[in-house]
Chains A and B, each alone.
Chain A
Amino acid sequence: MSAVVLAELAYWQVSILRVLGLLAAVLLPSGTIVYLFLFKMMSFMQSRLGPMEAGPYGSMQLLAEVGKFLQKEDLFPDGADRKVFAWAPIVVVASTFIMYTVVPFGPDAWFANIPTGIYFALAVSSVSVIGILMAGWASANKYSLMGGLRSAGQLIAYELPLVLAVLGVVIQAGTMDMQGIVAAQRNGEIFGIGFIGNPYIITQFVGFAVFMIAMQAELTQPPFDMPVAESELVAGYLTEYSGFRFLLFFIGEYATAGAFSAIAAVLFLGGWSLPGIGFDADIMNVLGPIVMLTKMMLIVFLVMWFRFTYPRLREDQLQIFAWKYLIPISLVNIAVTAVLKVAF
């Protein structure tokens, strides 16, 4: 989507291209995550094979799953608030889609270049809370309601360390523009050594750790999966959903995992840039998305690794962890970063 190409196209053509690109950017990583991690890595860690029948090594399993969900009846519980119930998954998925719009995949491969991109992404990510609350409330189910409330409490609590962890990066990069953060890492250097640039995972390691933990909680993955804790709340706010609407939630969950890992890749791993290739080189518009996808998968690998290993915290322990540990740590991190930024 080079700017040169875009300039020659009509607005509607650009819009269609953008929508298609966004669909690919959302669905490709989430499909990869589900197959690679949820099906295969999980099975490997649990000493079983996972899906093997659909396609070679079960690679077509995903299509089979989607087909299965599409065939199912679109159920509405008796006491459900039908409109809210129907819209909730769409709100969740929409917030995920919008998050992707500000993530850069190459020097010109972006959907929207907003000067305050990271701010926008974090703001939009919390819209999904509304969708989850809607789902929990409208299902007319006590388990759903509890799941929805837990989810709201959790997402709000972990929004804070997430933002504070990002602040460290923003201070160090001096910009909120995601493209600018990539450039700052590409061109940065650590104590004069600059051949790999300065991926902020090194200088902002505390921030990275806090970001990863908060992200785990935002994604409601174990050990922070109380909203959908299956042994307690059956499936939390998802309990009453079936068929297509459940599929939307499902896509939303893993697309959000992709979106957050994309943001983490941009903030801490240097984004799409490759050392040795010019920052504005046209080749990076092709290589960049591949580099980004690799880095995203690395991040999701960590998320999933925790997910398959850890038991679940309790709701109050989760809040204690956020307010008493993560937030103070990230505040200290910001202060230290600010001091060092001025000092060097």
Chain B
Amino acid sequence: MTAISERQQRAYIASQAADMRVNVELETEGMTLNIGPQHPATHGTLRIIVKLDGELVVAADPVPGYMHRGYEKLTEVRTYPQVNTLINRIDWLGSFANEVPFILAAEQLMDVEAPPRAQWIRTLLFELSRIANVTLFLGDMAVQLGAVTPVFYAFRDREYVLNLIESATGGRFHPNFDRIGGIKDDLPKGWIAETKQVMVKVNAFCDELEALLLGNEIFNVRTRGIGVIPPEVALSYGMSGANLRASGVDWDHRRDTPVGLVYDKLDWKVWTHPDGDSFARYWVRLQEVREAAKMVIQLCDGLPPGPIMAKVPRIIKVPEGEAWVATENPLGEMGYYVVSKGELVPFRVKIRSASFNNISIVPWLLRGVYVPDVITILASLYFILGDIDR
């Protein structure tokens, strides 16, 4: 190791000083841009404070909480069936899917199992709410990128699915249909045939969007390589669902741990994409809608006869214990950690919603991208505000 001469030191200091002078001259004052809470791209009330250098994002800090409703506190003063109503409002686009893991957790504690027909109908409605949820994403991502037309197709075709959910449950957005030990009602007459017809429309919608967007050059340059999330990072941030599968992690609760639902009796595939960019996330979700439609048709065909309700007491007291049940919701892994003390109300419910973790990666992800990419990345991560703020 050679010692540094004094002359070299002076030269180094001088060059550093010169660099600093240049940098000071070139450096322009950054701009703080407040995206949200009322911004068209945050579909809800997410606020993101971004520090900009020109149009380049230097740092981003999301500020959730404009829609915090304190569900974890409220569950502590509501009986188990009443909690069901509450958690419908977490991910409001796929509401039925919110109910399932909570009911399953309560059932696990009570050691009750829903009869087969109830399980099939649960799975059926679960997949329908996935379609209702993700079709809207497929259109919404396009509108965030500036293509206005696909979102209307999405709304049009989601409406058929919502009509199905409405005719089965009575509620378009918040069915509140799941019960501890089964489901509230059986399916109406003629529903199965109608569902199959709607699935044809859903498949046509997927084909339409694939033709309209996935092959579009502008869509490709806007999404490919934008917001790349490596699998290790995705796992460490607890990203789940299609966001994780788009990073190449082959994990799906439906296939791997199908608690209380009948996915193991269906023929379907879990799609992954190796790229981990916005395009991959869109692509994976598009395939998931197709798989969901495929599953719905199989579920319609295989629906077993039988009762829809297990024997449960009218006033539900859940025995003491702790249970964690997670399912693969439209937005990702959604789980409830239920602590019961043997009373009418849960002692503590931790709601682990998918969007909360999916969005917590935003400060890591939104560095060195342009403002339009912020919108692309946020759209492709796909969050529902109720799912972040709970």
Contacts and interface: CB of A to CB of B under 8 A. Distances in A.
Nearest to A313: B218
B142 interface: yes
Nearest to A316: B370
7 contacts: A42-B148, A46-B148, A146-B55, A231-B144, A232-B374, A313-B222, A316-B370
B300 interface: no
B41 A232 contact: yes
Given A232-B372, A310-B216, A46 B152 contact: yes
A223 B216 CA distance: 12
A315 interface: yes
Interface string A209-238: 000000000000011011001111110000
Contacts of B222: 311-314, 317
Contact of B146 (A142, A231, A315, A317): A231
A311 B216 contact: yes
Interface string B148-160: 1100110010000
A60 interface: no
A83 interface: no
B36 to A, nearest CB: 10
B372 A311 contact: no
A223 B218 contact: yes
B149 A309 contact: yes
A314 B212 contact: no
A146 B54 CA distance: 9
Contacts of B148: 42, 46, 222, 308
Interface in A59-117: none
A311 B213 contact: yes
Contacts of A314: 221-222, 370, 372-373
Contact of B218 (A143, A234, A310): A310
B40 interface: yes
Given A142-B31, A229-B372, A232-B375, A312 B145 contact: yes
Contacts of B142: 311
Greatest chain B CB density within 10 A among A223, A311, A312 is at: A311
A234 B39 CA distance: 7
B40 A311 contact: no
B165 to A, nearest CB: 21
B127 to A, nearest CB: 25
A59 B156 CA distance: 24
A311 B370 contact: no
Interface string B317-335: 0000000000000000000
B141 to A, nearest CB: 9
B371 interface: yes
B347 interface: no
Contact of A226 (B144, B213, B372, B379): B372
A310 B147 contact: yes
A23 B293 CA distance: 55
Interface string A312-333: 1111110000000000000000
A255 to B, nearest CB: 22
Contacts of B379: 231
B63 interface: no
Interface in B1-46: 31, 33-34, 39-41
Nearest to A320: B221
Interface of B: 31, 33-34, 39-41, 55, 142-149, 152-153, 156, 212-213, 216, 218-219, 221-222, 370-375, 379
A231 B40 contact: yes
Interface of A: 42, 45-48, 142-143, 146, 222-223, 225-226, 229-234, 308-317
Nearest to A307: B148
A244 to B, nearest CB: 24
A316 B226 CA distance: 14
A305 to B, nearest CB: 11
B163 to A, nearest CB: 16
A312 B39 contact: no
B370 A315 contact: yes
Contacts of B156: 47-48
Given A47-B153, A142-B33, A231-B143, A312 B218 contact: yes
Nearest to B144: A231
A312 B146 contact: yes
Contacts of B371: 146, 232-233
B41 A311 contact: no
Contacts of A48: 152, 156
A78 to B, nearest CB: 16
A34 to B, nearest CB: 16
Given A229-B372, A232-B372, A308 B149 contact: yes
A206 B143 CA distance: 31
B221 A313 contact: yes
A223 B219 CA distance: 10
Contacts of A226: 372
A225 B26 CA distance: 30
Contacts of A316: 370
Greatest chain B CB density within 10 A among A45, A48, A146 is at: A146
Given A222-B147, A309-B149, A230 B218 contact: no
Closest 4 A/B residue pairs (Cβ): A312-B146, A46-B152, A311-B145, A311-B147
B55 A309 contact: no
A315 B146 CA distance: 13
A271 B222 CA distance: 38
B142 to A, nearest CB: 6
Contacts of B370: 314-316
Contacts of B41: 231-232
B146 A223 contact: yes
Contacts of B144: 231
Given A46-B152, A232-B41, 16 more contacts: A46-B149, A47-B153, A47-B156, A222-B146, A222-B147, A231-B40, A231-B145, A232-B371, A232-B375, A234-B39, A309-B147, A309-B212, A311-B216, A312-B218, A313-B218, A317-B221
B372 A234 contact: no
Contacts of A225: 146
Nearest to A308: B149
B52 to A, nearest CB: 9
Contacts of A222: 146-148
